[in-house]
Amino acid sequence: MSLLCLCFTATAAQEKQSADEDGAPPPPVPVVVIEEPTPGAEMPAPPPTFTPATPRQAEQAPQFPGGEAALRAYLGNNLQYPAKAVQDEVQGAVVVDFDVDVDGTIQNILIVRDIGGGCGAEAERLVRKMPRWQPGRQGGEAVKATYRLNIHFVLTH
């Protein structure tokens, strides 16, 4: 599986200012890691909330507009690490399944695994807010397909 990492860092001036004001070290800096599904990898059976007619995979998987780099940029620019998760030092992977319809709209968002602290809700918010995707293709035709996105929430100190 390819592993991508997005780091959210404060500027040196902000870190210095934060440490100077109250004498405490700056707060942890959140990091999000996205795992893309491995092409050709077998996906588990769909959960009951998906209709059996919805294909899980297509010959060509759905794609975020602009590709993988654009998806990383979108998440990096829009992710808001939940305050409760920072306070409770919640870290781990939120797994999100969603359908990309033939017109590229996102449907049937399902949090497969939540780590708490509001991270699942944040992952769902990010997916709901996404622009239209390029749909999956089967035999050259656009088809509804399910996409699995693993978003890792990691705090660094």
Alpha-carbon distance values, 92 to 52, 57, 81, 119 (Å): 30, 26, 12, 9
Sequence spans of domains, the chain: 3-40+49-156
| Pair type for strands 106-113 and 136-138 | unpaired
State pLDDT tens for residues 22-48: 566 665 555 555 555 555 555 444 433
Q: Please provide residue 100's backbone torsions phi and psi, each rounded to the nearest 5 degrees.
A: -110, 115
Please report the pLDDT score of residue 57 as a whole number.
75
Instruction: Give percent of the chain above pLDDT 70.
Output: 64
Q: What pTM, to 2 d.p., does this model score?
A: 0.66
